[in-house]
Amino acid sequence: MSLNVGVIGTGMIGQDHIRRLTKVLSGVNVVAVNDIDAARAALVAPDGATVFDTARELIRAETVEAVVVCSWGPAHEEQLLECIAVGKPVFCEKPLVTTAAAARRVMDAEVAFGRRLVQVGFMRRFDADYRRLKATLDDGALGAPLMFHSTHRNASVPEGLYTSEMPLNDTLVHDADISRWLLDDEVAGVEVRVPRRSSRGKELRDPVVVLLHMASGALVDVEISVNIAYGYDIRGEVSCEAGTVSLPLRPASIIRDIHGVRQAVPIDWRERFIEAYDQEFREWIVAAGQGTATGPSTWDGYAATLVADAALRAVESGALEKVDMVTRPALYASKNDRPDHGQFSQQRMKSAS
Ligand code: NAD
Ligand code: ISE
């Protein structure tokens, strides 16, 4: 039996996900689409799919069993709440939402419903390289992770649409989430430094350097550059007590020709994470078919939103800004719930301030 899904938001990633849902993956049909740009929705709707005037109508349609949300971040809350209200599984592109208050509302609604319905599009968790890196850390032979160096470079971002807040509340959420997941830790505080501005982004605040203070005491430094011209370059290295482990450079092929030896760089996220997006949907299709969700949860989306909020405060204050999370609801229980986390975080933030 195939899962019948509706896609809301048919821009860049909406179209890429429609392609994978219709041409790459099995066990799924795209039966409905919606976009506030109705012409765009009509243009990219797969054969036989219904184009709905509103997201609400799509979510409530009897033909739609599960929903894929690819609209802009500020639209996510309303669409997620609607999915939860009708009990339909929903894959939501990151960021989950754009404010901590909105994240709490979505979390409260899902907890009240009593079953996970939301999966957040943190695709790095499904990437084979990140999974190998995590397996090495979890194995424990390298000892405790002490530092994680995360590099997040985009060749360019859409001028005018991508604002100075977005390195911190749109792009950084990936590094925040993958840090929590890899290190099995929570972010307790955030600092931001702004180096010399790149002229390529005009007035855009780019690049930025972010320091995530993890509850365990580990530190994560993140370079975010969003106009670096040469490609989409994602790097990561974890320094542990007895060694380091890092992501390979992608793509792995080395070119040797009359110009010398070089390694290609992906153009953008579509190319770098193509297999990770496929895998996150494979796993989502199975879970959604069972009426639930897997992988990154509303709790993870909430955590990343708090980091983004703290980063936005930190870039203004120049100080170390605390991240205060509510107690994790049982619905999202995981091995991250180590009893020492809260205490350690409080001690650390005291000594840091
Ligand atoms: P986009 O601007 O290309 O497309 C967004 C689309 O959503 C547009 O067509 C817009 O008209 C539509 N839209 C906006 N509000 C809507 C609403 N209320 N109802 C219906 N449609 C609405 O943007 P994009 O790059 O495709 O990004 C979309 C989302 O995906 C964002 O949240 C973004 O952060 C996320 N994203 C994730 C990744 C990733 O690597 N996981 C990569 C790119 C984008
Ligand atoms: C985009 O929305 C993504 O999620 C990409 O993965 C990220 O690299 C980019 O900076 C964001 O704008």
Atom 1 of ligand 1, residue of closest alpha carbon: 11
Instruction: List, in order, residues 6 or more apart from 263 with CB less than 8 Å away.
Output: 249, 251, 253, 254, 255
Distance separating alpha carbons of residues 128 and 335, to the nearest angstrom: 21
Distance separating alpha carbons of residues 344 and 164, to the nearest angstrom: 33
Collapsed DSSP state (helix, strand, coil) of residue 120: strand
Task: Quote the strand ranges of 169-257, DSSP E.
Answer: 187-193, 208-214, 219-225, 233-240, 243-246, 254-257
Query: What residues pair up with 90 in beta bridges, in sequence order?
Result: 67, 118
Dist. CA 76 → ligand 1 center (Å): 10
Question: Would you tell me which CATH number, out of the four given (3.90.550.10, 3.90.930.60, 3.40.50.620, 3.30.360.10), belongs to the domain 127-272+333-352?
Answer: 3.30.360.10
pTM: 0.94
Long-range contacts of 318-321 (CB under 8 A, 24+ apart): 319/191, 320/189, 320/190, 320/191, 320/213, 320/349, 320/352, 320/353, 321/189, 321/190, 321/191
Distance separating alpha carbons of residues 63 and 332, to the nearest angstrom: 29
Dist. CA 203 → ligand 1 center (Å): 23
Residues within a 6 A CB radius of ligand 1: 8-14, 34-37, 40, 55, 70-73, 75, 93-94, 121, 123, 170, 269
Q: What is the per-residue pLDDT for 1?
A: 82
Average pLDDT of the chain is 94
Q: What is the pLDDT of residues 195-234, one digit of tens each?
A: 999 999 999 999 999 999 999 999 999 999 999 999 999 9
Dist. CA 16 → ligand 1 center (Å): 11
Q: What is the pLDDT of residues 283-292, one digit of tens each?
A: 999 999 999 9
Q: What is the per-residue pLDDT for 57?
A: 98
- Per the CB < 8 A criterion, the answer to whether 35 and 41 are in contact is yes
Residue 11 C-alpha from the chain's centroid: 17
Dist. CA 28 → ligand 1 center (Å): 21
The residue to mutate among 7, 8, 10, 13, having the most atoms of ligand 1 within 8 angstroms of its beta carbon, is 13
Q: CATH homologous superfamily of domain 3-124+274-301?
A: NAD(P)-binding Rossmann-like Domain (3.40.50.720)
Phi first, then psi: what are they for 248, rounded to 5°? -75, 160
Q: What is the per-residue pLDDT for 352?
A: 43
Give the residue ranges of the chain where pLDDT is below 70: 335-353
Sequence spans of domains, the chain: 3-124+274-301, 127-272+333-352
Collapsed DSSP state (helix, strand, coil) of residue 121: coil
Distance separating alpha carbons of residues 168 and 95, to the nearest angstrom: 11
Phi first, then psi: what are they for 327, rounded to 5°? -65, 135
Q: What is the per-residue pLDDT for 350?
A: 44
